[in-house]
Amino acid sequence: MDKRVIDQFWRQRATEGGGRWTEPEMLDYELSMLTPYVGANCHILDLGSGPAALSTRLLGPSCRLTAVDKYQSFLDSIPSDPRINTVCSDVVNFSYTTATYDLILLFGVVTHLDLAEELAVYENAARGLADSGVLAVKNQSSHHGEKQVDGYSESLKCHYVGRYPDIPGQAARLGRFFGKVEIRHYPPAFDKWPDTTHVCFLCSSRK
């Protein structure tokens, strides 16, 4: 994958204030899926948060959120809130401190990671996850073998580079670090392309 194209894509979106480009109905679906994992005093880590459109909506009165993104412009657009801490960092190099997290989100990020980076993020997240915590990894996945895209996107109106892992392969990689990996398929109505589908992997029980 050409990382220069990926960087230009996200830098431009951050400047324009655009994070997600999915429909509001998908955000509602994701909120309903994740809300059961947000208890009292939950500490959420949102890796590659963008403007944190999803994670900020999960915050309860006693919850905390650490939003991590490579682009400061995204973090600047997150509303000021004493429950929210922002960290400008690439997700691969994010430094886990002594804190552990009850819910870690990795939404729409794997698409722009190479295989070594994907594994590094999973390994680090496993170390930073609380004993009873959940890592939620969501991205588009390929139906038949890993798919890579490199070219002009009519829908996005720009050059786009992305990697869409196959579901069994991604689940197996997560299984190296987590004892339980639940695959949650999104409703077919959200699938715009015949060869990819939206999937969330809910991972727990660190190995």
Over residues 70-95, the mean pLDDT reads 95
Share of the chain above pLDDT 70, in %: 92
pLDDT reported for residue 106: 98
SS3 180: strand
Please choose, from the candidates 85, 83, 88, 69, the residue with its C-alpha nearest in 3D space to the C-alpha of residue 19: 69
Confidence of residue 98 (pLDDT cuts 50, 70, 90): confident
Distance between CA atoms of residues 46 and 52, nearest Å: 8
Confidence of residue 4 (pLDDT cuts 50, 70, 90): confident
| Minimum mean pLDDT range among 12-21, 122-131, 156-165 | 12-21
pLDDT reported for residue 157: 66
pLDDT reported for residue 17: 67
Q: Where are the domains of the chain?
A: 3-206
Strands (E), the chain: 43-47, 64-69, 84-88, 101-107, 129-142, 147-153, 158-164, 178-185, 196-206
Which pTM does this prediction carry?
A: 0.94
Confidence of residue 185 (pLDDT cuts 50, 70, 90): very high
**CATH H-level superfamily of 3-206:** Vaccinia Virus protein VP39 (3.40.50.150)
pLDDT reported for residue 156: 60
Write the DSSP assignment of 68-88 as a string of letters: EES-HHHHHTSPP-TTEEEEE
* pLDDT above 70 for 22: yes
pLDDT reported for residue 19: 64
* pLDDT above 80 for 136: yes
